[in-house]
Structure 1
């Protein structure tokens, strides 16, 4: 687990996600991507089992609300580079700088574990945000589930 002033981060593999934690994670993704963004899409894409799952909370214990999450793939699992996806900040976590904080934690993890570049498919409205983190557009804009996206790469 890593921590900063705002949040305690914890990384999980698929086998570490017990029933309650998996339910909480999938519920958060549904709340943000399906309900808030009004986007009916297949969240259960068969890729969670190979991903590393990052969850951020106010406190290190599991009783604290889930504030942010993401999943990270090793190089070769999704793209030739490492990949980050399903990045979210819950309603309770917004306005605290967690978008940047979760990306910093994902980049730290990728550098430490894989020493690789990172690719992501970011919603178009976040293009400038991702460019500010060192990403550049490699494809797009394109439509993904009714939402404009860019494929972006952050070199190693």
Structure 2
């Protein structure tokens, strides 16, 4: 079993990816909450002006699992030597009442993130692919890299934003 270390506010927290990402959703969330409490509860940050709580430990876990590569286009953005950046997209947006949960998240690049937010992409989880509203777009029918559980309900919420015109 490999152990991955996530740096958060100067602390190193050991995560066993097999425990956190492959066990039940409830178990993963329980472990994440325990690690958050070990950090003194200071790892919760706030998104936008509505002060919707988000725990960056979940986001960091997924980014490590996907090695900072977009699950949709497979691109990895290097910001400096050996440093990479990507986003974590919530399928059911946290600001709209969606949970800050691994089953509601995908690791994406900024371009794919904005396309998901604007409804330009449709996630076809049954076939592990994405559809773009323009059938000649390079991402249309592109395979999605899926290594963690994604809840179909949240995919449905995401797909309600998809534009066919």
TM-based fold match above 0.5: no
TM-score (norm 1): 0.29
TM-score (norm 2): 0.28
Q: Which has the higher strand share?
A: 1
Look at both structures and tell me which one has the larger radius of gyration over its CA atoms.
Answer: 2
